[in-house]
Chains A and B, each alone.
Chain A
Amino acid sequence: MKTWSLVSICVLLGVVVRWGVSLNSYSGAGKPPMFGDYEAQRHWQEVTYNLPLQEWYFNTTDNDLNYWGLDYPPLTAYHSWICAYVAKIINPDWVELHKSRGYESPTHKLFMRTTVLVADLLIYIPAVVLYCLYLTDGSSKKKISTLLCFLLYPGLILTDYGHFQYNGVSLGFALWGILALGLGWDVSGSMAFSLALNYKQMELYHALPFFCYLMGKCIKAGPMGRGLFLLVRIAATVLATFALCWLPFLSDPSQALQVVRRIFPVARGLFEDKVANTWCSLNTLIKIRSILSGDSQLYLSLACTFLAVLPSSFRLLTKPTFWHFKLALVNSSLAFFLFSYQVHEKSILLAALPVCLLLNDLPLIAIWFLQASTFSMLPLFLKDGLLVPYVVTSLAFLFFSLYLLSALDHCSEDELRMGAYNKLLFFLPKMDLACVVRWKFYISVAVMAVLSIVSIALVPPPHLPDLFPVLVSTTAFLHFFGTFVYFNVVQFSEPPSRKSQKKNN
């Protein structure tokens, strides 16, 4: 069948699933006084439309920063402004200053959900389609299968269309950047990534791989001459993009500083709520938060993050190929997620995106990780009343991806690139690696299923009210840590076969 028709069918299916999920509840629905992320987005529309630009990030009488103050970079603010403009045309009550606080209605929900869908259709979905068609290898059927699985990844759908956020925009821009870099358009790629950074500061998780890859490319092209020229062009593009986005705020240095202060709040603790990273999991055994002071917590996490991200970045710097770039993206975002300061559960999406890029190359591990990432956000989804979408989309994703990508068939040692493992663990008896991996996968999925059912059906004992979220996050942490180690090993092992390497370069 013609590729375009299959592609359009996949995209339409993705749209149907997204819209289906969006008809469920959102975060903070009907929960005054603070509500949730949905109200935060609506409030930002209110603030950006009614107040002058200079007041957006400041605490004034009209703008109470304690009630969902803006804490994303300017591009989010501009996006909210555009949405508010449309909202004003449809129904001014939605963005009435002060009066529209906590506004909830079916029409408004429809409007907000539509803005998410429109943003996705314009930015995220085209990037996914182009990536799957042009930067993955295999037959066209394989590409279409990858596309379908990529689009059906539950974590992003549930967060954006259920909980309510605009991750599709920032991840979409980042994906455009990756796409451009993969096709060799370094300057455009850096511009796209700068846009992503200016939309959500958490894209910094991906910044180091971009930097190392481009730097490595420049060095390879010759430190004098072409390499330097490329470096200058990239630097100029990045600076220009930043300047353009921050232009209104650059007139007054205190403005810019306030924005920075809002988007990097260092006053908060090591972690908030239950997150599947090292510190939270460690906290169950040793109460770090009470042992160490605030400052030493900050330094500890900085040091650990730096150490964790160093190997893969260095490897990328020395071998700037697209394959290593993808792996470094995974490693870097996982390192930041596991060891960084003030990490939110939703940040796992920043690691999930690069793993989606590897659906084609390492299907089983990718699917495994993506499922675990969705599972790690289960407490959040339960709080938002997204139980049925979670179950349905996760099951469907597992089912479709395992079947379409034949993940369980491609488990040989070579395909999983586990040769290095065998060398490292030479002292262990020789086992059939494929079989072991498959069984580990089954057990892991079973554990996740059991924990999901338990979290839903049972009531925790009164002296351990957070038992289930803690169990969920520790299990997820183990998965993430294991994946982190695995991808680091893969990055340091032999590159893939010649055929695919040619295409990737």
Chain B
Amino acid sequence: ILVYDQNNLSWSRSYLKFIVLQIYNLHSTDFEVHRNWLAITHSLPVSRWYHENTSEWTLDYPPLFAWFEFGLSHVAQHFDRNMLQVENLNYASPSTVLFQRLSVIFTDVVFIYAAKECCRCVQEQKGSRDVLNRPSFVLAVLLLWNFGLLIVDHIHFQYNGFLFGVLLLSVAKHLQSQHLQGALLFAILLNLKHIYLYVAPAYGIYLLRSYCFTQDNKDGSIRWMSFSPLRLLALGSIVVSVCALSFGPFIAMGQLPQVLSRLFPFKRGLCHAYWAPNIWALYNVLDKGLAVLGVRLKLLEEAELPRASMTGGLVQEFQHSVLLSVSPSATLVCTLLSILPAVASIWLRPCGARGFLRCLLLCALGSFMFGWHVHEKAVLIAILPLSILAVESREDARIFLVLTTTGHYSLFPLLFTPTERPVKVSLMLMFTIFSFTALRKLHSGQGPLLRPLEVVYLLGLVVVAIACEVVFPLSPWQQRLPFLPLLATSVYCSVGVCYSFLRLYVRLLQRDDKPKQL
């Protein structure tokens, strides 16, 4: 019955996606980005792929993704040949739109398969239960109907479903103790989108510690003698071969520096235009606040302050006025410092696959919190794997509810037209209602799930939502301070995200009772 339910959930997910597909008759820049990449990979020889810059949206994903687009372009030519001309900038005929959207829906199959695999890993609790209350069913719904993923993938147009599918599949494989497959999938993922480098430390340390060292001492510490060079070799060869497959042609042509410069552009600003709810949002607000305060108290001259344009434009740089300016290397150092304890913890006291999952979450969240030019949708890298833990343990369910609600709400500003408003509100409500009631039912019997403070915070989120969506557009400040709702949303959500980050850390660093599984 369960499999049948998951099948139906998958179909219903596709149905929802088709319906949501109707929405985007206006499209975001990502649409043009991917059309451009289809054109580049189809029309130009391989040597020109990373040199091409007719359009401003140059190829900035690793080569494996370029090969993926190349494959797609062969199907695309049957829909509309014109989209594959590099010169046709902003070309968007109906068949082009249809093809692009269908491609996202079809590659979504990977995500559906990954969700099924994750559900298989979930520990079922004893006792016959109604289908709706089984952990694996709840997980299936939480993954397949994840609001953030639906919104981001369809309305913002990217292949996130596909990429997250690969990530979740690799996690599932590790949970099922098939580490080589998991490593392979992660290597593929890295070569598809290099943003996942952020979680690579978790993979690296976990595999090194728990896979290459086959046994531990009784007290859990490392047993150096049990090192298995064979396993290390297997892992290494997998990673190297995948990278060779994707980067090989470019290394052979000596284009590696060019490719790397495309992949890691550091010219963009500290914060994305919509201010991901991370530490830097709080930092910016503090800076602005101090600047205003300083001017009021006559400690600073207004003319001395640099024109703060952190709030305008898409990819501009800015400087802080009172606090220290933040450079890319500083963010990198902060990120590494933030994930160091987590990584060290799974080296010194490995807790099996679930410990690895926690470390992965912390790496993802840490890089979200402290990273350079982070996009709000990066919070999904933390939310989706956390769903697996949420259906198993009560503590994690609590953190999940806080993180998910704030993370999803922070995605609201991405959809700002009135046309999309009913859909985003309805979908968000649907997901939130489901996650709260299902998780509460699943972990019932030990008092209320959320602490009073958390409840107050989440209710405050509703207030902020109403203020930003309804009250603000009708108020007199609309003209003077147009970025105020964005600011409020980011700051309020970053509080929630920081809180979840700290709580997850506490969870990891507490001694877990789970025995090592390998």
B-binding residues in A (CB < 8 A): 1-2, 5, 8-9, 12-13, 15-17, 19-21, 23-24, 106, 110, 117, 141, 388-389, 392-393, 395-396, 399-400, 403
**Contact residue among B19, B422, B427, B437 (Cβ-Cβ distance under 8 Å from A2):** B437
Interface: B20 (CB within 8 A): yes
**Contact residue among B15, B422, B426 (Cβ-Cβ distance under 8 Å from A392):** B15
Which residues of B4-29 have CB atoms within 8 Å of chain A's CB atoms?
8, 11-12, 15-16, 18-20, 22-23, 25
Do B19 and A5 touch (CB < 8 A)?
Answer: no
Minimum distance in angstroms from B436 CB to a CB of chain A: 8
B16: chain A residues within 8 A (beta carbon): 13, 16
A1 to B15, CA, bound (A): 23
A16: chain B residues within 8 A (beta carbon): 16, 19-20, 422-423, 426-427, 430
Residue in chain B with minimal CB distance to A399: B11
Interface: B434 (CB within 8 A): yes
Per-residue CB contact flags for chain B residues 442-469 toward chain A (1 = under 8 Å, else 0) read 0000000000000000000000000000
Minimum distance in angstroms from B11 CB to a CB of chain A: 6
A341 to B329, CA, bound (A): 79
Do A389 and B22 touch (CB < 8 A)?
Answer: yes
**Contact residue among B22, B133, B427, B438 (Cβ-Cβ distance under 8 Å from A24):** B22
A-B contact pairs, 29 of them (CB 8 A): A1-B437, A2-B441, A5-B433, A5-B437, A8-B433, A9-B430, A9-B433, A12-B427, A12-B433, A13-B16, A13-B426, A15-B422, A16-B19, A16-B20, A16-B423, A16-B426, A16-B427, A16-B430, A17-B19, A19-B422, A19-B423, A20-B23, A20-B423, A23-B25, A110-B419, A392-B18, A399-B8, A399-B15, A400-B12
Interface: B290 (CB within 8 A): no
B19: chain A residues within 8 A (beta carbon): 16-17, 20-21, 392-393
Do A5 and B434 touch (CB < 8 A)?
Answer: yes
Interface: B344 (CB within 8 A): no
Minimum distance in angstroms from B134 CB to a CB of chain A: 12
Do B438 and A20 touch (CB < 8 A)?
Answer: no
Do A396 and B15 touch (CB < 8 A)?
Answer: yes
Residue in chain B with minimal CB distance to A23: B22
A23: chain B residues within 8 A (beta carbon): 22-23, 25, 419
Q: Which 6 A-B pairs have the closest CB atoms?
A: A20-B19, A5-B437, A12-B430, A12-B426, A396-B15, A20-B22
B437: chain A residues within 8 A (beta carbon): 1-2, 5
A393: chain B residues within 8 A (beta carbon): 19
**Contact residue among A1, A21, A106, A403 (Cβ-Cβ distance under 8 Å from B133):** A1
B23: chain A residues within 8 A (beta carbon): 20, 23
A24 to B18, CA, bound (A): 13
Minimum distance in angstroms from B366 CB to a CB of chain A: 34
Which residues of B417-431 have CB atoms within 8 Å of chain A's CB atoms?
418-419, 422-423, 426-427, 429-430
Do A388 and B430 touch (CB < 8 A)?
Answer: no
Minimum distance in angstroms from B316 CB to a CB of chain A: 30
B75: chain A residues within 8 A (beta carbon): none
**Contact residue among B132, B419, B429 (Cβ-Cβ distance under 8 Å from A8):** B429
Given A5-B433, A16-B426, 11 additional A-B pairs, CB 8 A: A2-B437, A9-B433, A12-B429, A16-B19, A17-B19, A20-B23, A389-B22, A392-B18, A395-B15, A396-B15, A399-B11
Minimum distance in angstroms from A148 CB to a CB of chain B: 10
Residue in chain A with minimal CB distance to B133: A1
Minimum distance in angstroms from B235 CB to a CB of chain A: 43
Minimum distance in angstroms from A257 CB to a CB of chain B: 43
A395: chain B residues within 8 A (beta carbon): 15
Minimum distance in angstroms from A135 CB to a CB of chain B: 24
B11: chain A residues within 8 A (beta carbon): 399
A20 to B437, CA, bound (A): 26
A9: chain B residues within 8 A (beta carbon): 430, 433-434
A322 to B71, CA, bound (A): 60
A8: chain B residues within 8 A (beta carbon): 429-430, 433
A5 to B18, CA, bound (A): 24
A21 to B25, CA, bound (A): 12
B441: chain A residues within 8 A (beta carbon): 1-2
B438: chain A residues within 8 A (beta carbon): 1
A73 to B133, CA, bound (A): 50
Do A388 and B419 touch (CB < 8 A)?
Answer: no
Minimum distance in angstroms from A21 CB to a CB of chain B: 7
A402 to B419, CA, bound (A): 32
Interface centre among B22, B23, B434, B438 (most CB of A within 10 A): B22
A155 to B461, CA, bound (A): 38
Do A1 and B132 touch (CB < 8 A)?
Answer: yes
Residue in chain B with minimal CB distance to A25: B25
Minimum distance in angstroms from A489 CB to a CB of chain B: 34
